[in-house]
Amino acid sequence: MGSAPTPSSGPAPSRSALAIEVRLDVTGMTCAACQAHVQKTLARVPGVVDASVSLLTNSARVRIDPARTGSDELVRAVEASGYTAALPTADRGALAEEDARETFEEREYRALRLHASVALAAGVVVMVASLPLMGGAEHAHGIDPLMAWVMQRVDPLARAALPWLYALDARVLTVGVVLLTTFVLAWAGRRFFVRAWSSLRNRTTDMNTLVATGTGAAYSWSLVATLFPNWFRARGLAPDVYWEAVVFLVALVLCGNLLEHRARRRTSDALRALVRLQPARARVERGGKELDVALEEVHPGDVVLTRPGERLAVDGVVVAGASAIDESILTGESIPVAKGAGDGVIGGTLNGTGALRYCATTLGAESVLARIVELVKSAQASRAPIQALADRVAAIFVPAVIGLALATLLVWFAFGDEHALPRAFGAAVAVLVIACPCAMGLAVPTAIVVASGRGARDGILVRGGAALQRAGEVDTVVFDKTGTLTLGAPRVERVVLAPDAPLGEDELLRRVASLEASSEHPLASASCARRMSADSHASPSRRSRRARGAARRLA
């Protein structure tokens, strides 16, 4: 029999209670299938309690048992699955981290834009150069009535506009078209084949598998038909080629990726605006001098100076000076809070009319603003319950599309005439390319990122996707204070005079406004605004009488 536990020993902590959260930056994901694959890979690592991967933010949040695994094992697992993972820099602040992410996204956006632009231009060139090779409207793909109808209208116009093109030798045009298509596929389309091969090595499929299979099949068919046309004719088949289709498929998919990337960047605008509340530099006192240093160079205990109208650089405690600080980004209250010696201040808040000297306390990831940013990022990376449905569909989507493409090929070939194979092949390639699971994988994460980012900009923090999904069922909202329901600034609604007041409302407003004209206090601004509003709504005759009265008083 074992000894009984001592009274001081409580119940053993659960494994989930000991878990810590690790965040990874994951790149290379392009669709919901990629996201599902990375998430499954992380979940299979021993010691992982829970894993959540966001395609929109290119990040993963993993809760692990530190006694069984570490962050290095997570990085190796993601890289073994064909993607790139890295740990965020520990000593980098929220502003520096956001700048680095924005720089990386800008570089990716420019590369995508270059590839898409070149592929589109090459597609136009290949399409125009292919017109003389089609042999006229009557030979337009030999068996396609729709193509023949198009060629009847396009071919005469092309002959009139580009007579020199039709004068070139067909072999020269063919070589040029083949080389240009090969260049586009090897340069702009290389990403699809590299990622598809990586997925194949890891026994999975994704959007790149569909694009690589479709364009690769069309390219291979066209190459064989170009090199061995007689082999096709001997079997009653037209040696159709799809050079322009290959180039345009690569171009259009890249354009879709470009638009998707642009949309993903815009969804983070609210988060960037929140991060930008904190200045990039701070003014500190060192050795009796004022120095302008980067935010990362501020140390706990440094005395930081803030002038009127500036945003506070870091969290701290006031040591000298007095002012009123706008803390609405944290509290929602529009009235500035008076601060003096011994009061705490928060980085990112807006200083009023006074100068402050304060001692820096919490910095970097421990600051209030950085923790708010981290909460928003956690909410954006979280998964709503409805997203589980999208994950289940994405897991079988690509294999199902490949099977559907094969079925399309067989059905078209089985029920067609002796020339059905080219049509069947074209239909199968179309199924492969147009069936892309990107929208399915981005729909729910985009909604979460936009909602949580917009909420953060308006001072509302959301714990995650589950809370957002439940918010759709809310029918009653109860507020515990009025500050968050105001317009963000005080406003004089009406003036109530005492029964024996010696002044009228207009004269009272005039005198108050004259006294407060030089003040920057919110209540002073509200009083002056009320006076201006009263003047703007006054009738012309009334304004004229006021002007004459003012002139008499000046005289």
pLDDT tens, position by position, for the chain (555 residues)? 344 444 444 444 444 557 888 888 888 787 666 777 888 889 989 999 988 887 767 788 898 988 888 889 999 988 888 788 888 765 555 666 666 777 777 888 899 999 999 999 999 999 888 888 775 444 444 445 666 666 667 777 777 878 888 788 888 899 999 999 999 999 999 988 988 887 787 777 777 887 888 888 889 888 988 998 888 777 666 777 888 888 988 888 888 778 777 766 666 666 677 777 788 889 999 888 888 898 888 889 999 999 988 999 899 999 999 998 988 777 767 678 889 999 999 998 989 888 899 999 988 777 888 888 777 777 666 666 766 666 667 667 778 888 898 999 899 888 877 667 777 887 887 787 677 555 555 566 667 777 777 776 676 767 667 777 888 888 888 877 655 566 667 788 888 888 888 888 888 888 888 888 777 677 777 888 887 776 665 555 554 555 454 444 444
CATH 2.70.150.10, domain 279-366, yes or no: yes
Would you kindly state where each structural domain of the chain is located, as residue ranges?
17-88, 98-268+419-440, 279-366, 505-554
Cβ atoms within 10 A of the Cβ of 553, count? 7
Q: Cα-flanking dihedrals φ and ψ of residue 253, to 5°?
A: -65, -40
Per-residue confidence (pLDDT) for residue 551, from 0 to 100: 43
Q: Please name the residue that has the structure tokens 């509302």.
A: 460
Q: What is 17-88's CATH number? A: 3.30.70.100
Per-residue confidence (pLDDT) for residue 186, from 0 to 100: 94
> Do the beta carbons of residue 365 and residue 93 sit within 8 Å?
yes
**CA neighbor of 369 nearest in space, from 317, 318, 322, 312:** 312
Q: Which residues are identified as catalytic?
A: 480
Interstrand relation of 316-321 and 356-360 (parallel, antiparallel or unpaired): antiparallel
Tally of residues, the chain: 555
**CA neighbor of 379 nearest in space, from 303, 313, 468, 318:** 468
24 - beta bridge partners? Answer: 60
Same fold across 17-88 and 279-366: no
Kindly provide the residue ranges of all beta strands, DSSP E only, lying in 370-471, ordered along the sequence. Answer: none
Question: ∠ CA(59), CA(61), CA(62), 5° rounding?
Answer: 135
By the 10 Å C-beta count (0-12 exposed, 13-18 middle, 19+ buried), 211 is classed as buried
Per-residue confidence (pLDDT) for residue 74, from 0 to 100: 92
* Residue 456: HSE in the Cβ half-sphere, 13 Å Cα cutoff: 32
> Do the beta carbons of residue 217 and residue 427 sit within 8 Å?
no
333/242 Cα distance (integer angstroms): 64
Residues 6 or more apart in contact with residue 175 via CB below 8 angstroms: none
360/344 Cα distance (integer angstroms): 10
466/447 Cα distance (integer angstroms): 12
> Do the beta carbons of residue 252 and residue 71 sit within 8 Å?
no
8-state DSSP, 24: E
| Helix (H) / strand (E) containing 434 | helix 420-434
Per-residue confidence (pLDDT) for residue 379, from 0 to 100: 67
555/552 Cα distance (integer angstroms): 5
What does the block give as tokens for 16? Answer: 């989930």
- The reported pTM is 0.65
Q: Count Cβ neighbours within 10 Å for each residue of 464-494 and write b for 16 or more, e otherwise.
A: bbbebbeeeeeeeeeeeeeebeeeeebebee
Q: Please name the residue that has the structure tokens 């965040």.
A: 23
358/318 Cα distance (integer angstroms): 4
> Do the beta carbons of residue 430 and residue 411 sit within 8 Å?
no
Task: Identify the sign of the CA torsion 289, 294, 297, 303.
Answer: positive
